[in-house]
């Protein structure tokens, strides 16, 4: 029965669907594209809330600061998108990563996710798009395990099963959170970064030709991406992965037009951030190919409209 529930909930959804987004928006330049993309698909996506996720790198000296900067960047994108009505539904997430796989990092985001999930059902689940470390999502599952029967998690993180590169940011930032996610039995769609979603890229000519100057949102997305990448790019012929968009796009993937996926046995996540494949594990949906041109065409069209 449990396996049947998961398989049923992992089918491509009928639209429109209720969605929440968990994002470390200030971390890179692609979270902004993902949020904008969801906002521009209101006929299919009913965005319920946006959660600011923690991150730690050269842009944020602590996970708390990363979360706070992401919170402000979410509000910035909403204003640029003329979507101020969503501002009251932006919630701060955890100010630290999980200490272990048993102890949640409580936050307003985790509590809101639980509250919204409990209003849904396996027949009409809440879709949770995660494009950050899984801290907020795992914390909600630890605080209220029953929500796994009412949500579907679409998470961008980890590497392709075929890929030798395992040092992936979203997974390594909070390995215990990823372990909770993969062990919880929640219906899970994984979009690996290295080896799969990394091929969804945009270039400076793309940004200048299709986005720059088209409207305030498009102009910000393009100029912010160009200035950010130019600061570290080693060649003027650079492209930038905007992989976060792919997680949002799974919800719009009717007919497998934007990506290809399949059902697989859900691996365990090791303490080093790798995969351990075991028998008798629950199923998950695994994205193995991105149709870059089709998805990029829709992304650009939505942002400039």
pLDDT (tens, 9 = 90+) of the chain, 305 residues, equals 477 878 999 999 999 999 999 999 999 999 999 999 999 999 999 999 999 999 999 999 999 999 999 999 999 999 999 999 999 999 999 999 999 999 999 999 999 999 999 999 999 999 999 999 999 999 999 999 999 999 999 999 999 999 987 789 999 999 999 999 999 999 999 999 999 999 999 999 999 999 999 999 999 999 999 999 999 999 999 999 999 999 999 999 999 999 999 999 999 999 999 999 999 999 999 999 999 999 999 999 999 98
Neighbours of 275 (CB within 10 A): 15
- The full set of domains in the chain, from first to last, is 2-202+241-288 (3.90.245.10)
pLDDT reported for residue 116: 99
Chain-centroid distance of CA 39 in Å reads 14
202 and 225 Cβ atoms separated by less than 8 Å? yes
pLDDT reported for residue 125: 98
With CA atoms as reference, report the closest residue to 202 among 30, 41, 38: 30
Is 0.85 surpassed by the pTM of this model?
Answer: yes
Q: How far is CA 209 from CA 199, 221, 269, in A?
A: 20, 13, 41
């Amino acid at each position: 029965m449990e396996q049947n529930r998961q398989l049923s909930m992992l089918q491509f959804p009928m639209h429109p669907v209720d969605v929440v987004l968990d994002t470390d928006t200030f971390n890179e330049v692609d979270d902004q594209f993902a949020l904008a993309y969801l906002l521009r698909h209101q006929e299919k996506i009913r965005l319920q809330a946006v959660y600011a996720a923690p991150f730690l790198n050269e842009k944020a000296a602590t996970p708390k600061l990363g979360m706070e900067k992401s919170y402000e960047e979410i509000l910035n994108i909403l204003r640029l998108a003329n979507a101020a009505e969503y501002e009251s539904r932006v919630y701060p997430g955890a100010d630290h990563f999980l200490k272990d796989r048993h102890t949640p990092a409580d936050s307003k985001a985790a509590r809101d996710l639980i509250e919204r999930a409990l209003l849904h059902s396996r027949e009409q689940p809440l879709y949770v798009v995660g494009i950050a470390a899984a801290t907020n999502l795992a914390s909600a599952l630890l605080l209220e395990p029953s929500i796994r029967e009412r949500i579907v998690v679409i998470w961008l993180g980890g590497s392709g099963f075929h890929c030798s590169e395992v040092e992936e940011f979203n997974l390594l930032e909070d390995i215990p959170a990823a372990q909770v996610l993969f062990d919880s039995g929640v219906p899970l769609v994984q979009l690996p970064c290295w080896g799969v979603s990394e091929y969804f890229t945009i270039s400076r000519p793309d940004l200048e030709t299709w986005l720059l100057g088209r409207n305030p949102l498009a102009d910000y997305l393009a100029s912010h991406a160009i200035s950010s990448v130019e600061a570290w790019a080693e060649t003027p012929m650079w492209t930038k992965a905007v992989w976060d968009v792919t997680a949002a796009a799974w919800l719009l993937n009717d007919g497998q037009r934007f990506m290809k996926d399949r059902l697989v046995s859900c691996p365990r996540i090791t303490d080093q951030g790798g995969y351990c494949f075991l028998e008798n594990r629950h199923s998950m949906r695994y994205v193995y190919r991105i149709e870059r041109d089709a998805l990029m065409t829709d992304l650009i069209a939505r942002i400039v409209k």
